[in-house]
Amino acid sequence: MRLLVRERLFAVGDDYWIEDTEGRKVFLVDGKAMRLRDTFELKDAQGRILIELRQKLISLRDTMVIERDGRQLAEVRRKRLSLLRNHYRVTLVEGTELDVSGRILDREFAIDYDGELLAQISRRRLTVRDTYGIDVVREDADAALMIAVSMCVIVLADKEG
């Protein structure tokens, strides 16, 4: 599954559509303004909330929390002792860990589980300015979760950069 995301997607308080390669609106990102922390809702095309993302208020390192149906699904934070590249760790509630690494600020990074690629985020091969693609590689990967993870690491990296 290939999805196209406009760069200005992460402005809190604005709503943006994530489209497929045919231009169909697949997911709506609803940025919640007037909050103490960054908060977003990822909705399907019918407006149902699939995933909520918010910055954790109190933590030693910047952390984003991903929730589904009011329950925490995952936490995203920068991996410690990562000197060469941007590297983030996603810890799912059941203990599974995903790795996110690459050039986050350039929108060139990958999400993998135990060395197996789940999703690739890239601006390459796109002619539309300020747009990047999210390629969900594995058929059984949760596309909404891959988008949420991508959003979290971009928000965290933008704050650091």
Asked if residue 136 has pLDDT above 80, the reply is yes
CB 72 within 8 A of CB 65: yes
- Give the chain's mean pLDDT: 85
CA distance 109 to 111: 7
Encode pLDDT of 25-78 as tens digits: 999 988 875 454 578 899 999 999 999 998 876 666 789 999 999 999 999 998
Interacting residues of 102 by C-beta distance below 8 A, sequence separation 6+: 85, 86, 108, 109, 110, 121
Residue 36, SS3 per DSSP: coil
pTM over 0.85: yes
6-15, 55-64, 75-84, 116-125: the lowest-pLDDT one: 6-15
